[in-house]
Amino acid sequence: MATESTSSPSLTTHPELDARAVASARALAAHVVQAKGHGHGGTAMALAPLSHVLFSRVLRHAPAHPDWLGRDRFVLSAGHASLLLYTQLFFTGYGLTLDDLAKSRTLGSKTPGHPEVHHTVGVEMSTGPLGQGVASAVGMAMAARHESAVFTPASALLDHTTWVVAGDGCLQEGVSGEASSLAGTLGLDNLVLIWDDNGITIDSGTAETFSEDVRARYRAYGWRVLEIDTPDDLDAIETTLRTAVERTGRPTLVALRTVIGAPSVRFGGTSAAHAGGFGADELAAVKTTLGFAPNAPLHDLVAPETLEYTRGAVARGEQLYREWEADRAAWGACEPDAVARWRAFRGGEFSTTALDTVNVGSTGDQIATRKTNGAVLRALNGTAPLWGGSADLAGSTTVEVHGDRFSATNPGGEFIRFGIREHAMAAILNGIALQGPWRPFASTYLVFSDYMRPSIRLGALMGLGAVYVYTHDSVAVGEDGPTHQPVEQLASLRTVPGLDVVRPADSVEVVAAWRRILASPDHPVALILSRQDLPVLASTEVTPAGVTAGGYVRWQHGDGSDLAILATGSEVHLAIDAAAHLAHEGISARVVSMPCVEWFAGQTANYRESVLPAALRARVAVEAGRGDAWYRWVGLDGRVVSVEQFGESGSGPEVLRRRGIHLDAVITAAHATLATPAGDPTTPHGPPELVTN
């Protein structure tokens, strides 16, 4: 069985055809942007030699098998240069056409303005926000190294390389620095970062804003640094890239000096080359310099013999694919049990029976939901494809599982220490999820979700199954004060399309929520948990199904037809106390626990009606956070008990009461909504005052 899978045969080289392919790539970028009047051609032009060598000679990929597990991953972190990637996907046989390139950035095209995974064959990640691709590539490399260590520790069968192309802007963003620092610490030598060192950003030259020694910085991170000073020397590029994939115990930065917009005389090396067309005259001059007629149309920019030459990547990829399949077959013959485990992992086969062993306590027990969640993660460790860690808060958020940490010397480690790098942590989770089929999780305090927000948004956009475990979920954090007390974060997270925000009321709901989370690998989840102990509430046989439905009647007096009190998390027991108090007044109330409004909104109209009848207009929502969005559920006749100001330092119960989350406030809100004349056209309609102190 082969023990080395990182090398790759190159396309049989032909200097003249290589030169034509590079010239065509440059001309295509300039032509398409000028024809459309918008787009980003400068970087695609400058990196045409690099991308041609990478895709034709070095990258392990098989265009006829785009999902081949043994392929290298390529991430274009500088996503605005999407034409660079689309051109290579066209040249190497991924199904794109010249017409697709011409339609870039238009509605419904296969070539959107920035690359989008699951939309264009050959695109590994949705990129565009600068630095995200770098950080997620770190996650891809981590996941690949972990999978290899767990399933094929004596072989390089699964040890492919993750490549990422980044610009100056990517390396200025903090998220790339956070992730690169961790990559160096972890010794991810299956990661190669190619830095387009062109010295230009949108507004100016980088000397005005980016004067640091990037090479020295990456050496300080623990990276190996290689240089390419001749950006048009294809053989020199190939030699350097092949050196970059050697396993040395360190990730590699390849610093490539380029001239943005080359070979344009007027725009080359200037900020004006970043975006927009060069004008008809300059485009004609560029085409002439590249060996084309000055007025050559799009289809004349790629000669048939050039395309035939670059499409040799299909045969090259087929060779790589068949060799890898032979290695996999040999592995199967030698280690059938290991192969069976790997296939089950890749096929998403796992059991959730371990959840049955989690001690959820008895009614009335006091258990913080963060503690139950920790018990869930430890129970599932080794039985479900969960893998993750914490931003230096594992002891507090209780997410650490049994076993050793993932490290340079122990890539099979069960737990990741991300360090105090919240933004990179979220971006790395995206990379792990893209590599798949791990369900990555990461944990910190809810208030620090703000540090993670751009990566969370991107994960939701890509439909990735990351799980963000947030504890210390309200002003009940207490003594640490307002800097650590989340107020607006819950409401803010719920505005992210495709993100499921889950706030369980007790340990029973935590376990039930995990059953749905594990069954939904194409949705990111923000799991919101309490620091403080919460009472285990009385449950019925409908509780687990109600939780997975996102909302259900957790407690009811009589037929519950007078009033509905909606609540999440730590406020559900408060809602039940209020409803029980109102019952002594003869008020028939139902308490709706709504651990996930997104799940509830996705239920059938009949189910939602059974929980919240339209005729039941007297409604109160209570949650220890901003409350505006709850009017979707309580209506204009309802009331919302919420926290509308930052907190302060004091004990959790004191701060909750000071900010209006207490029994009297819920009862007062209930009386107010019950007193509202339902349907009276003379009653002013508009959101009532939020119930705060």
What residues have CB less than 8 Å from 301, skipping those under 6 apart? 24, 27, 28, 31, 287, 292
Q: Give the bridge partners for 253, in sequence order.
A: 193, 225
Give the model's pLDDT for residue 684: 41
Name the segment(s) of the chain with CATH classification 3.40.50.970.
Answer: 15-319, 353-535
524 upstream amide cis, omega within 30 of 0:
no
Sheet with 415-417, edge to edge strand ranges: 415-417, 386-390, 439-445, 467-471, 525-528, 500-502
- Look up residue 495 and give its two tokens: 């505005």
Give the range among 297-301, 327-331, 674-678 with minimum mean pLDDT: 674-678
Helices (H), 437-496: 449-462, 489-493
Q: What amino acid is encoded at 95 in this protein?
A: G
Sign of the CA dihedral with 145 first, then 151, 153, and 154 last: negative
Q: Distance between CA atoms of 91 and 595, rounded to whole angstroms? A: 49
Angle formed at CA 467 by CA 462 and CA 470, multiple of 5 degrees = 130
Q: Distance between CA atoms of 421 and 185, rounded to whole angstroms? A: 13
CB 278 within 8 A of CB 30: yes
Give the model's pLDDT for residue 677: 79
Q: Distance between CA atoms of 447 and 28, rounded to whole angstroms? A: 47
Residue 540 CB neighbour total at 10 angstroms: 11
Residues at the binding site for thiamine diphosphate are 80, 128-130, 169, 198, 274, 448
- 296 CA to centre of own chain: 42
- Look up residue 349 and give its two tokens: 């086969």
Please state, in angstroms and as integers, the Cα–Cα distance from residue 310 to each residue in 7, 13, 93, 181, 381, following that order.
20, 10, 8, 37, 46
Residues at the binding site for Mg(2+) are 168, 198, 200
- Look up residue 35 and give its two tokens: 């024809």
For residue 76, give the H/E element and its range.
strand 73-76
Average pLDDT for 514-524: 95
597 secondary structure, DSSP code: H
> What's the pLDDT tens digit per position in 398-427?
999 999 999 999 999 999 999 999 999 999
pLDDT for 627 beyond 90: yes
> What's the pLDDT tens digit per position in 212-226?
999 999 999 999 999
Residues at the binding site for substrate are 40, 274, 370, 396, 472, 480, 484, 531
Average pLDDT for 388-399: 97
Average pLDDT over the chain, rounded to whole? 95
Q: Distance between CA atoms of 676 and 636, rounded to whole angstroms? A: 10
pTM recorded for the entire structure: 0.95
Q: Which residues of 157-172 are buried (b: 16+ CB within 10 A; e: fewer)?
A: bbbbbbbbbbbbbbbb
pLDDT bin (cut points 50, 70, 90) of residue 687 is very low
The second-level CATH assignment, the architecture, of 353-535 is: 3-Layer(aba) Sandwich (3.40)
Q: Which residue has the tokens 């940490």?
A: 405
Q: Distance between CA atoms of 198 and 43, rounded to whole angstroms? A: 9
- Look up residue 267 and give its two tokens: 């725009």
For residue 468, give the H/E element and its range.
strand 467-471
Name the segment(s) of the chain with CATH classification 3.40.50.920.
Answer: 547-675
Longest dimension (CA), the chain: 91
Packing angle of the helix pair 507-519, 369-380 (nearest 10 deg): 40
Q: Distance between CA atoms of 674 and 520, rounded to whole angstroms? A: 39
- Look up residue 56 and give its two tokens: 């034709």
> What's the pLDDT tens digit per position in 328-375?
999 999 999 999 999 999 999 999 999 999 999 999 999 999 999 999
Q: Looking at the chain, how many residues does it have?
A: 693
Helix (H, G, I), strand (E, B) or coil at 90: helix
Q: Distance between CA atoms of 156 and 632, rounded to whole angstroms? A: 54
pLDDT for 131 beyond 70: yes
Q: Which residue has the tokens 């009589």?
A: 558
The second-level CATH assignment, the architecture, of 15-319 is: 3-Layer(aba) Sandwich (3.40)
**Torsion angle, CA of 392/398/402/406, rounded to 10 degrees?**
-20
pLDDT for 690 beyond 90: no
Residues noted as catalytic = 422
pLDDT for 683 beyond 60: no
Average pLDDT for 249-260: 98
Q: Distance between CA atoms of 588 and 561, rounded to whole angstroms? A: 6
Q: Distance between CA atoms of 196 and 199, rounded to whole angstroms? A: 9
Residue among 526, 515, 514 at smallest CA distance from 460: 526
Residue among 432, 448, 445, 453 at smallest CA distance from 399: 445
The second-level CATH assignment, the architecture, of 547-675 is: 3-Layer(aba) Sandwich (3.40)
Q: What percent of the chain has pLDDT over 90?
A: 95
Q: Distance between CA atoms of 144 and 557, rounded to whole angstroms? A: 54
pLDDT bin (cut points 50, 70, 90) of residue 487 is very high
CB 484 within 8 A of CB 477: yes
Average pLDDT for 393-400: 96
Residue among 464, 450, 481, 467 at smallest CA distance from 390: 467
Give the model's pLDDT for residue 479: 95
CB 273 within 8 A of CB 264: yes
For residue 526, give the H/E element and its range.
strand 525-528
Give the model's pLDDT for residue 13: 75
- Look up residue 240 and give its two tokens: 């350097």
Give the model's pLDDT for residue 686: 41
pLDDT for 3 beyond 70: no
pLDDT bin (cut points 50, 70, 90) of residue 672 is very high
Sign of the CA dihedral with 394 first, then 400, 404, and 407 last: negative
Give the model's pLDDT for residue 688: 47
CB 133 within 8 A of CB 126: no
pLDDT bin (cut points 50, 70, 90) of residue 6 is low
pLDDT for 275 beyond 50: yes
Q: How many helices (H) and strands (E) does the chain have?
A: 27, 18
- Look up residue 423 and give its two tokens: 């933004």
Residues at the binding site are 40, 80, 128-130, 168-169, 198, 200, 274, 370, 396, 448, 472, 480, 484, 531
